[in-house]
Amino acid sequence: MKRIYLDYAATTPVDKKVLASMLPYFSEKFGNASSLHSFGVEASEVVEKARQVTADFFGADNKDEIIFTSGATEANNLAIKGVVKAYYAKSENKNQKPHIITTAFEHHCVLYAIKGLEKEGLIEATYIQPQKDGVIRTEDVGKAIKKNTLLVSIMYVNNEIGTVQPIAQIGKMLKDKKILFHTDATQAVNYFDCNAPKLGVDLLSMSAHKIYGPKGVGVLYVKKGTPIKMIQDGGAQENGLRAGTINSTGIVGLGSAITGLKMSKMKNKEIEKLRNYLIEKVLQEIPKTKLNGSKIKRSPNNANFSFRDVEGESLLIMLDAAGIAASTGSACSSGSLAPSHVLMSLGMKAEEAHGSLRLTLGKHTTKKEIDETVKQLRKIISDLRKISGNILGDYYKKVKS
């Protein structure tokens, strides 16, 4: 059975050119980039070359604005917690609690970082609700600003429903307000302009494994002059912002993957065309189906559906048995149903959100794979509706009572 991979938003396969660029740094050129001898200098040189490539891609003024991390989760934590730590490092701020604005449908690493700071009593926070189409309104961000607002953190592209947020407009609105602006651009880097100065952001996060690079390496762009402190103790690597031995092998791969992005515009148009074909076929051929989020303000590779009277995890398991890898915003664990926080933030009912499916395409996806996926989806959903409709109905009646 030929397997079909439609979960590119979760991770991507390492590009062959990226892998080739990394191989020598596993065992032949294995030096620690912090060492002063020739082995270390050799590693340091390739790290700095990758840093410059990354800086150029994000429009940084200089390469020192690029901080390498273990991925977007660490980058997001460093951006949020590091800014708060820098705030409290000033004696005049000791008794003035700062305010952070974010959205209700951020990635969990952003939400949990902010909620954790709230629980510690270090900040107050506002969670902007998206519109029903999954897009945040700039004016809603503006209305949430307070005198003590320190930071706004809003993702560029939602990781689940693929909707694109008005980052440049928000950046323009925040200009001259002395409020820091951070965006998690993890799902955007493949498809959208991520020039940080044009977007008006002070901090930007991304992860290599979403762009055909290796896992375990990411970036935090930090605009020069942004007040931020390291959040883990250790050495003074990465301009004193990220302690730990530099992952030179991964960084080489990240730089190579970013170089590959510059040549992918035509391929992205093909992906979007295939994605539109997928959406049309699913909506036409499978009844009681709805596309979640705006069809226009959407990442070219993302299609997120809700199927009525279908349980999300069962759908995933049966798709996997048919050789199709996908994702759902619904999670079943310990006998409790937990619908997606993203879909719930759009105002969907639990029973609607529960039957969600995320299909994300990549540069290796073919029309034949889309046709086979729709064929299998049609059959599996029909079968699931026959056996699970009444069970789910009974469950939600109990929940409501």
Q: The domain that contains 126 carries what CATH number? A: 3.40.640.10
Whether residues 206 and 310 share a domain: the answer is: no
Contacts of 383 by beta carbon, 8 Å cutoff, 6+ apart: 318
Q: For residue 246, what are the domain limits?
A: 16-261
Q: Select the more confidently predicted residue: 164 or 93.
A: 164
Quick check: 172 and 142 in contact, CB under 8 A?
no
The pLDDT of residue 331 is above 50 = no
pLDDT tens readout for residues 125-136: 999 999 999 999
Whether residues 223 and 151 share a domain: the answer is: yes
Name which of 160, 165, 199 is nearest 301 in CA terms: 160
Contacts of 144 by beta carbon, 8 Å cutoff, 6+ apart: 101, 126, 128
Mean pLDDT of 36-64: 94
Whether residues 56 and 33 share a domain: the answer is: yes
Whether residues 124 and 235 share a domain: the answer is: yes
What gap in Å lies between CA 4 and CA 58, rounded to an integer?
32
Does a structural domain hold residue 4? no
Does a structural domain hold residue 66? yes
Q: Which residue has the tokens 């759908």?
A: 315
Whether residues 35 and 148 share a domain: the answer is: yes
Does a structural domain hold residue 304? yes
The pLDDT of residue 303 is above 80 = yes
Q: Which pLDDT band holds residue 394 (cuts at 50, 70, 90)?
A: low
pLDDT of residue 351: 77
* Residue finishing a domain among 245, 261, 277: 261
Whether residues 182 and 331 share a domain: the answer is: no
pLDDT of residue 353: 82
What gap in Å lies between CA 64 and CA 51, rounded to an integer?
8
The pLDDT of residue 388 is above 90 = no
Give the count of domains, the chain. 2
The pLDDT of residue 339 is above 90 = no
pLDDT of residue 330: 43
Quick check: 342 and 105 in contact, CB under 8 A?
yes
Does a structural domain hold residue 241? yes
What gap in Å lies between CA 302 and CA 362, rounded to an integer?
9
* Residue finishing a domain among 228, 261, 294: 261
Contacts of 80 by beta carbon, 8 Å cutoff, 6+ apart: 100, 110, 113, 114, 117, 151, 153, 182
Output b/e per residue, 219-242; b: 16+ Cβ within 10 A.
bbbbbeebebbbbeeeeebbeebb
Backbone region of residue 293 per phi and psi (left: phi > 0; alpha: psi in -120 to 50; beta: other values): left
Q: Give one DSSP letter per residue of 327-370, joined into a string.
A: B-S-EEETTEEE--HHHHHTT--HHHHTTEEEEE--TT--HHHH
Whether residues 46 and 170 share a domain: the answer is: yes
The pLDDT of residue 215 is above 70 = yes
The pLDDT of residue 55 is above 80 = yes
Q: Mean of the per-residue pLDDT values for the chain?
A: 92
Whether residues 202 and 275 share a domain: the answer is: no
Task: Cite the active site residues.
Answer: 332
Contacts of 39 by beta carbon, 8 Å cutoff, 6+ apart: 29, 30, 31, 32
Evaluate the CA torsion angle 197, 199, 200, 202 in order and state its sign.
negative
The pLDDT of residue 332 is above 50 = no
- 354: domain CATH number? 3.90.1150.10
